[in-house]
């Protein structure tokens, strides 16, 4: 069988290929020399599989796509408090290189515009690192996200530094507000190196997949940053990743994303996929023209918008019945699927309807494959309240999907593997009482 996804990607690429609108970024002379016809797209799945079509192994500079990853490193290395004190999370609706800071605090509005990204760069690594060591931390961190060793394109870096007046102006302004506490030039130099790291479309898809995969790189298995950091980063990408086109993007594409002026674009759909495209001509916001069209297609063809309401899953309560009769009768509440808050609420409703005289109650999780934390707490509270009202509660959980099944505070649960075993226990108890 011919593989389906690369065929799909090739077809979508040929659809956007005729569009030669937009222009190369020319404020960095080396970028103006890029081949404008390059075009590639890659998908990285969370098990490490990569699908691609077009120029997916050509290297180009990461530019602003580094911003969410360095923000992630800063949050990891310094903690949320110190980073949030210096960089906000509000969409600016402004161009990426706007010279603007929050009026009362002097903080950059968010880490996706240059002011915030330059500040985030200064917060990567331990406090007091020398600029060169910080660059090393940044390149190491980006490499861990990609799952391979990345390098800096010195010529693009030098070319940008020669014309970095605007970023220097931003950095000096940050220094005047004490948001930066060191030499502004050294920070801009480090930030420019960060932007000059070379990546391929394949690398970018894998970096996005690391975010989609709760911070664990699908290839290396390395947990690069924590889940909490990932949630913060994806939220900011969603609201600010596409600069002044963020609202259009959020409604039409609906995937946390980030663009770079060399023509790269990434999207990370939590729990599903990392995507990347490469096409160097940019629109007036500085986002790749063909990249934006590609993502619009991916999102609509595959229903990838994060606000898309998922098809209703199977009912969480599979059945509710009584096994046996008399004092040994066992009321079984059989649950199924993955249980989140709404599913747990269904279980509460069923449990409330259990007649007080039905002493023995089993929550059967045999067909449950996952329970999230809130559902776990709700089900344990159901068990606790049932115990307090005189019920004997069994948890049928042969695969231990419920971690630490302790209802606490007056609750009692007997964990068994099968309904039969719960039955047997009752019989033994009855016999014990008889003897
Ligand atoms: N290095 C570029 C800059 O700071 C990155 C901008 C971008 O990719 N949008 O201007």
Q: What's the CA-to-centroid distance between 112 and ligand 1, angstroms?
A: 10
User: And the tokens for 423?
Assistant: 């039955």
Question: Which residue, judged by its Cα, is nearest atom 10 of ligand 1?
Answer: 97
Backbone angles phi, psi at 92, to 5 degrees: -95, -25
Q: Going by CATH, does the domain composed of 317-434 fall within 3.90.79.10?
A: no
The answer to whether the CB of 195 is under 6 A from ligand 1 is yes
| Annotated domain spans of the chain | 32-302, 317-434
Q: Is 118 in the pocket of ligand 1 (CB under 6 A)?
A: no
Nearest to 261 by CA among 228, 283, 287, 236: 287
Query: Which pTM was predicted?
Result: 0.90
Question: Could you tell which of 22, 29, 31, 63 is best to mutate to test the pocket of ligand 1, judged by most ligand atoms within 8 Å of the CB?
Answer: 63
Look at the domain 32-302 and name its fold: Beta-lactamase (3.40.710)
Is 213 buried (19+), middle (13-18) or exposed (0-12) by CB count in 10 A? buried
Which pLDDT belongs to residue 433? 46
56 Cβ inside 6 Å of ligand 1: no
- Please list the residues that pair with 23 across neighbouring strands: 282
Q: What angle do CA 96, 225, 206 make, to 5 degrees?
A: 70
Pocket of ligand 1 contains residue 213 by CB under 6 Å = no
Ligand 1 centre to CA of 91 (Å) is 17
Could you list the active site residues? Answer: 64, 67, 191, 243, 261
Quote the pLDDT of residue 421. 73
Query: Per residue of the chain (435 residues), what is the pLDDT tens digit?
Result: 888 999 999 999 999 999 999 999 988 888 898 999 999 999 999 999 999 999 999 999 999 999 999 999 999 999 999 999 999 999 887 788 888 888 888 899 999 999 999 999 999 999 999 999 999 999 999 999 999 999 999 999 999 999 999 999 999 999 999 999 999 999 999 999 999 999 999 999 999 999 999 999 999 999 999 999 999 999 999 999 888 888 889 999 999 999 999 999 999 999 999 999 999 999 999 999 999 999 999 999 999 999 988 776 678 999 999 998 888 899 999 999 999 999 999 999 999 999 999 999 999 999 999 999 999 999 999 999 999 999 999 999 999 999 999 998 889 999 999 888 777 665 555 554 443
Ligand 1 centroid – CA 195 distance (Å): 7
Integer Cα distance of 337 and 344 in angstroms: 11
pLDDT for position 301: 95
Q: Which residues lie across from 278 on neighbouring strands?
A: 40, 264
Q: To test the ligand 1 pocket, which listed residue (31, 62, 64) has its Cβ within 8 A of the most ligand atoms?
A: 64
Atom of ligand 1 nearest to the CA of 117: 4
Cross-strand partners of 355: none
- Ligand 1 centroid, distance to 64 Cα (angstroms): 5
Q: Whose CA is nearest to atom 6 of ligand 1?
A: 64
**Predicted local distance difference test score (pLDDT) of residue 434:** 40
Assess whether the C-beta atom of 167 lies below 6 angstroms from ligand 1: yes
Is ligand 1 within 6 A of the CB of residue 96?
yes
Contacts of 214-222 with C-beta under 8 Å, sequence gap 24+, read 214/270, 215/72, 217/144, 217/145, 217/146, 217/147, 218/44, 218/45, 218/46, 218/47, 218/48, 218/147, 219/48, 219/147, 220/144, 220/147, 222/144, 222/147
Confirm or reject: Cβ of 286 under 6 Å from ligand 1.
yes
How far is 343 from 353, CA to CA, in rounded Å?
A: 16
């Amino acid at each position: 069988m011919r593989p389906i996804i690369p065929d799909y990607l090739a077809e979508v690429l040929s659809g956007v290929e005729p569009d030669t609108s937009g222009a190369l970024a020319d404020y960095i002379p080396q970028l103006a020399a890029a081949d404008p016809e390059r075009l590639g797209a890659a998908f990285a799945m969370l098990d490490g599989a990569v699908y691609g079509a077009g120029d997916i192994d050509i290297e180009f500079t990461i530019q602003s796509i580094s911003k969410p990853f360095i923000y992630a490193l800063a949050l990891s290395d310094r903690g949320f408090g110190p980073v949030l004190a210096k960089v906000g999370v509000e969409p600016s609706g402004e161009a990426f290189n706007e010279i603007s800071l929050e009026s009362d605090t002097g903080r950059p509005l968010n880490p996706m515009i240059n002011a915030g990204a330059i500040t985030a760069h200064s917060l990567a690594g331990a406090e007091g690192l020398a600029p060169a060591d910080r660059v090393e931390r940044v390149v190491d961190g980006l490499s861990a996200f990609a799952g391979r060793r990345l390098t800096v394109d010195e010529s693009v870096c030098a070319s940008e530094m020669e014309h970095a007046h605007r970023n220097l102006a931003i950095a000096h302004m940050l220094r005047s507000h004490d948001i930066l506490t060191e030499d502004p030039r050294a920070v801009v130099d480090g930030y420019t190196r960060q932007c000059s790291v070379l990546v391929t479309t394949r690398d970018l898809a894998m970096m996005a997949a690391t975010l989609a995969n709760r911070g664990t790189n699908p290839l290396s298995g390395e947990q690069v940053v924590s889940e909490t950091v990932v949630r913060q980063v994806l939220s900011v990408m969603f609201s600010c990743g596409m600069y002044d086109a963020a609202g259009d993007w959020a409604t039409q594409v609906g995937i946390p994303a980030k663009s770079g002026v060399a023509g790269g674009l990434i999207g990370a759909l939590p729990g599903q996929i990392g995507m990347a495209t490469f096409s160097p001509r940019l629109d007036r916001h500085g986002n790749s023209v063909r990249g934006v069209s590609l993502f619009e297609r991916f999102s609509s063809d595959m229903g990838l918008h994060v606000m898309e309401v998922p098809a209703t899953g199977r009912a969480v309560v599979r059945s509710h019945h009584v096994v046996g009769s008399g004092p040994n009768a066992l009321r079984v509440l059989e649950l199924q699927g993955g249980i989140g808050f709404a599913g747990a609420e269904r279980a509460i409703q069923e449990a409330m309807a259990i007649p007080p005289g039905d002493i023995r109650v089993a929550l059967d999780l045999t067909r449950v494959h996952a329970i999230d934390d809130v559902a776990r707490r709700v089900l344990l509270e159901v068990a606790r309240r049932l115990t307090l009202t005189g019920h004997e509660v069994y948890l049928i959980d042969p695969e231990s999907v419920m971690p630490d099944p302790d209802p606490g505070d007056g609750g009692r649960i007997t964990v068994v593997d099968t309904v039969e075993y719960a039955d047997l226990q009752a019989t033994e108890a009855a016999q014990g009482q008889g003897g």
